[in-house]
Amino acid sequence: MLRRRINNKNKMIQILKNIPFFSTLSDQDLQVIAEKVTMEYYPASYTLFNEGDPGDIMYIIKTGSAEVVRNNAIVATLGAGDFFGEMALVSDEPRNATLKITAEMEVLTLKKEDFRHLLETNANIASMVSYEVVKRVNEND
């Protein structure tokens, strides 16, 4: 795994704008997020985390793909623009699935404490995340 922080905020804002999860946010909101995220790279065939692991990071896929595995069955395939790991940050529950990378992946990561700070201090981001969490809960039922 390779990790780096992109120091050019304008470049990070452009990356965030191209991710559907963030595309509706203002430049001001994106700037707040850009200050908190880190870019990480993972090789194909890497298991990022296992079902039952504690969750302290949210991931947003910039490039690559992964499989979400629950009870040894593939339940979803994720690609560029998708995000995962947010449920463990919201609920404080362990990871509810295993994530296996299928194609070399570049992700933006957001730590739990930064994620919670963003939710507490930014209504636009909190609203967007709430909508996505409700959608995910409904999809998993």
The yes-or-no verdict on residue 3 having pLDDT over 60 is no
What is the arithmetic mean of pLDDT over 77-106?
A: 89
Domain range for 115: 2-140
State both tokens at 67: 């499989």
Q: What is the pLDDT of residue 2?
A: 59
Residue-wise pLDDT for 21-71, tens only, equals: 777 788 888 888 888 888 899 999 999 999 999 999 989 898 999 999 999
Which residue did the predictor score with more confidence, 89 or 7?
Answer: 89
What is the arithmetic mean of pLDDT over 111-138?
A: 79
Give the total number of structural domains in the chain: 1
∠ CA 58-69-24, rounded to 5°: 35
- Answer for the pair 86, 129: CB distance below 8 angstroms, yes or no: yes
Q: What is the pLDDT of residue 7?
A: 60
Contacts of 102 (CB under 8 A, 6+ apart): 44, 45, 64, 65, 66, 67, 77
The yes-or-no verdict on residue 8 having pLDDT over 80 is no
* Residue 32's CATH number: 2.60.120.10
